[in-house]
Amino acid sequence: MSGARVLLVSAIASGQGKTTVTAALARKLTREGKRVRVFKTGPDFLDPMLLQCACGAPVQSLDLWMVGLERSRRLLAEAVAEADAILIEGVMGLYDGTPSSADLARQFGVPVLTVLDASAMAQTAGAVVRGLRDYGPVHLAGVIANRIGSERHAQMIAEAMRDIPLLGTLPRQERSLPERHLGLVQPDEVEELDGILDALASQLNFNADAWEALPPVSLGEPLQEAVAPALLQGKTIAIARDAAFAFLYPANLDCLQALGAAIVHFSPLADEAIPKRADAVYLPGGYPELHAAALADAMRWKQSMREAHAAGLPIYAECGGMMALADSLTGIGGDRHAMAGLLPGRVIMQKRLAALGAHAWQRQDGELRGHAFHYSRMETELEPLARTVKHPTGQTGEAIYRRGSLTASYFHAYFPSCPQAAASLFLRESAA
């Protein structure tokens, strides 16, 4: 294996600044001429978009359950073979979830870099970080203290670490990455994003010598990936891609193409009709609630969806995609907009989180794994065709709706978890 250095970036909890620090470090290493690859642990769409802007390369998911052990090993090994520096942003706190970020780090022998919001502490930082290291334990390479107030503050943090290296500090940020209810704002909506990333990289005081001292990670030879059968050979799948429908795993596109499908994109927000050559339609998740008025006025798009449905084209709609196909969508402020009307019922936004977690959908041709994360509810008299199962509790999860050739759910599927099941979603003979 090559001499790539690998770090898993984690913290004691969400909100400590993992994404900010990962993006700042990725941009800093990139500016130093290193070939940088970044991964995101667990299900996420928004952080990978930002991290891709920071490092200049696509960001894939790593997860021992959703992605799977061998695929995660294969993705990591491919990155190690072509990069100098690899960063893996963890999910929530280091030990949160089943499996956790700590489980991933131990599985592949990856050292952990802890991000600590030190804005309201000094010496206590040492106790927090030592506990984080020893609880698992994990190989803790060091700490980056975020939101540092002064040089003296940084010195106190460093002294409190004792035998744990303080690898870097990042001061309180005047310009931070904006957020909304599902997480970070999409990069395309952030003005001067490159400037923000460059500023963060410049502000990050990082110990370059400590980075070079990290031992290279050796993963061994991963198992060869099974060749996907060409179940979608000759099929063209039209995928909605714009600011309202942007939540899509890059791996899903790769999987569909490996199955033989040709991909074309169209924009409902631009009132583009489904391309005539499409054999199936995929509406991924996103933020339809932020663009409900524009979608309501997109008459050409809505008519093409109705015609495709009447013609029996397979339509697969996830979360935001499903919301846009309901009869109506009501925002937090009570504004109601007419949607495409393929799925009887109404979607209502709410301030309280409706669902968050890992889910599996058992189909005739295998188990599709993925997740759910939404702030709305679907009110419909349509009986679900099936329901997902929550991981790891086994509790009943999200409803899967079927109406004619339309399959819709709040569930976001990770297609490589079962390519055969994914393919069947886009075939006319599809069955759940």
Q: Cα dist. 424→186, 235, 320, 414 in Å?
A: 31, 12, 21, 14
420 CB neighbour count, 10 Å cutoff:
15
Task: Give me the residues paired with residue 362 across strands.
Answer: 367
Tell me the three state secondary structure of residue 240: strand
CA angle 47, 50, 53 (to 5 degrees): 150
Token output for 381: 């008299």
The residues annotated as belonging to the active site are 319
Q: Which has the closest alpha carbon to 25: 42, 12, 8?
A: 8
CA angle 174, 24, 54 (to 5 degrees): 115
Q: Tell me the three state secondary structure of residue 349.
A: strand
Question: Beta strand pairing status for 396-403 and 406-409?
Answer: antiparallel
CA-derived radius of gyration, the chain: 22
